Amino acid sequence: MRAADIPGELTEILVTEEQILAKLEEIGARVAADYAGKDLLLVGVLKGAVMVMADFSRVLPVTVPMDWMAVSSYGAGTKSSGVVQIRKDLDTDLHDKHVLIVEDIIDSGLTLSWLLENFESRGAASIEVFALLRKPDAAKVEVDCKYVGFDIPNEFVVGYGLDYAECYRNLRDVAVLAPHVYA
Ligand code: XMP
Ligand code: MG
């Protein structure tokens, strides 16, 4: 479904599906060139990155393995707690792999900086990050993110994998959730 179908629950559409798919093509071309001849592993962070992983992996011109990690730092609220828990670990040994972490969004940066530190101890040949969205004004820690889709304002957003209380992930667009929904 499209964000425009539920205008009462959203205040603004920030990124449309069309804009997302065009950006994935662009970043996919960069990634394909940067990793030519290298042993690339895509690591998606569940559950938010499911949509971006599905669409991004399919714009790549080569087959790549993917693995998933589930961490949680939010609970049911809208603010990061900074306390990260592994809910599902990787199935893959990272040793000598060129790892590209695929994330939906960098908000405070706390989750990703924790994840990067965790991965660095596992012997990967390299670790880079692709985040579809980033909120520069929300950063509590700097995260070195090589590929960024869109910088967005510091507001709680849903859609394209991003949820509020597990809903809205199946919106095709990214939109700002109306405060009355979570107030
Ligand atoms: P941090 O703050 O640690 O965020 O960079 C980590 C994870 O929190 C989720 N997140 C959001 N989910 N709307 C959402 O639906 C948002 O605006 C939002 N900001 C952060 C997301 O899973 C991210 O990976
Ligand atoms: Mg996430």
pLDDT tens track for 64-115: 999 999 998 755 556 666 678 899 999 999 999 999 999 999 999 999 999 9
The CA–CA distances, whole Å, from 1 to 4, 5, 17, 78, 168 equal: 8, 7, 10, 23, 9
Its pTM stands at: 0.94
ipTM above 0.90, yes or no: yes
Ligand at shortest distance from the CA of 157: 1
The CB of 104 under 6 Å from ligand 1? The reply is yes
173 is catalytic: no
What's the token pair of residue 178?
Answer: 């109306």
DSSP secondary structure, 11-59, as one string: EEEEE-HHHHHHHHHHHHHHHHHHTTTS-EEEEEEETTTHHHHHHHHHH
The answer as to CATH 3.40.50.2020 being correct for domain 17-153 is yes
110 Cα to the center of ligand 2, angstroms: 11
The CB of 113 under 6 Å from ligand 1? The reply is no
Residue range 39-74, pLDDT digits in tens: 999 999 999 999 999 999 999 999 999 999 999 875
